[in-house]
């Protein structure tokens, strides 16, 4: 019997619906959660064909292209037929598009519905049709309107952890990095603007639609000798083993996975005030605001006082390893499922 399954517990059929086809934290969340839940329940995933290799057996992967317009009747009918064929005991939709599509079909579905919101959007059309709403941070939950909201932060797992931090390390020897999809929400343009007044070297890790624009800004601001565009990284935790300080410059975000990955590895993080960071990081490690000038002040302070950071960070890392593991995230999610599938008699 799996450790996640209690004696006599029936293996229910859980169906995940993922409507996008990106490659970021949302997709990682569904992949890892589905894998963990499949140890105690039967799991099916309805998602774009590009994700087939992400969900190996025992997960039942069903390829359906939901990337079209969410109100497309042909796509909605195909999604409904697929769900009816699977006959799940519970459906769990992830992010706005999947939530909207399942909401449109909700009157034709006869099982409990769970929605997870992965960002800070104030509007989530149709979420009221779900039995439970999960937010990946308290900030995400605060922006939802639903009678049954629960916060379940992102959790993950890493293969290795770095040695203890090295205090008294010269600023010029520190390896600084920012990691994520190159999209506007991540605020990498603000970070490059801040770097105009900073003398340190930065690795900018990731790819995405903003890549050409960001490289143009770096050239315009003569950052070529201080900012290195690393490109896509297939193993972020491994990369973080050699990073001394991770910088998160996001404008808005539900709960960045790289924040959890960095802390589980043992790499310190300083960040803007976004979902997740405000819950995990002590106040001194949060920037005063999200302007380039405020970011520059924040970064300069902690680079120049890295010995103080190294001395104060171990408790933050220990707390993160306890609270933000994949096992903890999966356990709390399964508790939501069990509460809907086996409600306590009143």
Q: Which of 17-26, 71-80, 155-164, 219-228 has the lowest mean pLDDT?
A: 17-26
Mean pLDDT of 335-339: 95
pLDDT value at residue 100: 93
In sequence order, which residues have a C-beta less than 8 Å from that of residue 30 and are 6 or more positions away? 16, 18, 45, 47, 94
For residue 58, what pLDDT is reported?
96
Specify the CATH number of the domain 171-323: 3.40.50.2000
pLDDT at position 123? 65
119: left (phi over 0), alpha (psi -120 to 50) or beta: beta
Reported as a single tens digit per residue, the pLDDT across 193-206 is 999 999 999 999 99
Sort 77 into a burial class: Cβ within 10 Å, 0-12 / 13-18 / 19+: exposed
For residue 199, which of 231, 229, 223 has the smallest C-alpha distance? 223
Question: Which of 247, 299, 303 lies closest to 271, judged by CA?
Answer: 247
**pLDDT confidence of residue 165:** 86
The confidence score (pLDDT) of residue 77 equals 95
DSSP β-ladder status, 176-179 and 149-151: unpaired
How far apart, in Å, are the Cα atoms of 321 and each of 24, 27, 124, 325? 21, 22, 31, 6
For the entire predicted model, the pTM comes to: 0.84
Q: Per-residue pLDDT for 229 more than 50?
A: yes
Measuring CA to CA, which residue among 262, 181, 193, 269 is closest to residue 227?
A: 193
Question: Token pair for residue 149?
Answer: 């909201």
Please give the angle made by the CA atoms of 165, 276 and 240, to the nearest 5 degrees. Answer: 35
Per-domain boundaries in the chain: 13-155+325-341, 171-323
Q: Report the CATH architecture of 13-155+325-341.
A: 3-Layer(aba) Sandwich (3.40)
Asked if 87 and 110 count as a contact pair (C-beta separation under 8 A), the reply is: no
What's the confidence (pLDDT) of residue 85? 97
List all residues 6 or more positions away from 65 whose beta carbon is below 8 Å from its beta carbon: 48, 49, 75
Pairing relationship of beta strands 245-248 and 269-271 according to DSSP bridges: parallel
For the ranges 8-22, 147-161, 238-252, which has the lowest average pLDDT? 8-22
Give the per-residue pLDDT at 251: 92
Mean pLDDT, the chain, rounded, equals 91
Q: Give pLDDT, residue 343.
A: 65
pLDDT at 254 (0 to 100): 83
User: Does residue 22 surpass a pLDDT of 90?
Assistant: no
pLDDT beyond 60 at 260: yes
pLDDT at 7 over 50: no
pLDDT at 121 over 70: no
Average pLDDT over residues 187-194: 98
**Once rounded to an integer, what is the mean pLDDT over residues 62-73?**
87
**Is 25 or 314 the better-scoring residue by pLDDT?**
314
pLDDT of residue 237: 95
**At a CB cut-off of 8 Å and minimum separation 6, what does 183 contact?**
208, 209, 210
The mean per-residue pLDDT over the stretch 157-171 comes to 87
Residue 329 clears pLDDT 80, i.e. is over it:
yes
283 or 5: whose pLDDT is higher? 283
Give the full edge-to-edge strand order of the sheet including 90-94. Answer: 60-63, 42-47, 13-18, 90-94, 113-117, 132-135, 149-151
Q: What is the pLDDT of residues 267-297, one digit of tens each?
A: 999 999 998 899 899 999 999 999 999 999 9
Predicted local confidence at residue 344, as pLDDT: 61
Percent of the chain past pLDDT 90, that is, above it, reads 76
pLDDT, tens digit, for every residue of 82-108? Answer: 999 999 999 999 998 999 999 999 999
Higher per-residue pLDDT: 122 or 18: 18
Of all residues in the chain, the percent with pLDDT exceeding 70 is 95
Token readout for 102 is 């399942």
Q: State how far the Cα of 240 lies from the Cα of 265, in Å rounded to an integer.
A: 7
Task: Look at residue 305 and give its three-state secondary structure.
Answer: coil
Q: Which bin fits 187, alpha (ψ -120 to 50), beta or left (φ > 0)? A: left
């Amino acid at each position: 019997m799996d450790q996640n399954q209690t004696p006599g517990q029936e293996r229910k059929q859980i169906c995940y619906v993922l409507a996008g086809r990106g490659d970021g934290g949302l997709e990682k969340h569904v992949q890892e959660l589905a894998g963990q839940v499949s140890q105690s329940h039967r799991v099916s995933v309805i998602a774009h064909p590009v994700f087939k290799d992400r969900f190996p057996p025992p997960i039942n992967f069903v390829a359906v292209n939901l990337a079209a317009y969410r109100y497309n009747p042909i796509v909605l009918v195909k999604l409904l037929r697929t769900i009816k064929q699977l006959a799940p005991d519970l459906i769990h939709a992830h992010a706005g598009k999947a939530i909207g599509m399942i909401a449109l079909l909700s009157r034709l579905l006869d099982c409990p519905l769970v929605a997870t919101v992965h960002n800070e959007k104030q509007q989530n059309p149709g979420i009221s049709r779900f039995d439970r709403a999960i937010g990946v941070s308290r900030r995400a939950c605060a922006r939802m309107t639903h009678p049954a909201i629960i916060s379940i932060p992102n959790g993950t797992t890493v293969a290795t952890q770095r040695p203890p931090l090295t205090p008294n390390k010269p600023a010029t020897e520190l390896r600084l990095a920012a990691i994520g999809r190159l999209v506007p929400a991540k605020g990498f343009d603000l970070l490059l603007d801040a770097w105009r007044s900073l003398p340190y070297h930065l690795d900018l890790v990731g790819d995405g639609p903003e890549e050409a624009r960001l490289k143009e800004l770096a050239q315009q601001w003569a950052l070529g000798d201080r900012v290195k565009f690393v490109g896509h990284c297939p193993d972020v935790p491994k990369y973080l083993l050699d990073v001394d300080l991770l910088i998160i410059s996001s404008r808005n975000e539900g709960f960045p996975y790289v924040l959890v990955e960095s802390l589980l590895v043992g790499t310190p993080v300083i960040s803007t005030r976004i979902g997740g960071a405000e819950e995990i990081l002590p106040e001194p490690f949060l920037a005063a605001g999200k302007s380039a000038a405020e970011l520059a002040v924040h970064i300069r302070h902690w680079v120049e006082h890295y010995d103080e950071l190294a001395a104060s960070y171990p408790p933050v890392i220990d707390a993160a390893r306890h609270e933000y593991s994949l096992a903890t995230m999966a356990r709390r999610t399964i508790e939501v499922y069990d509460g809907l599938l086996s409600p306590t008699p009143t």
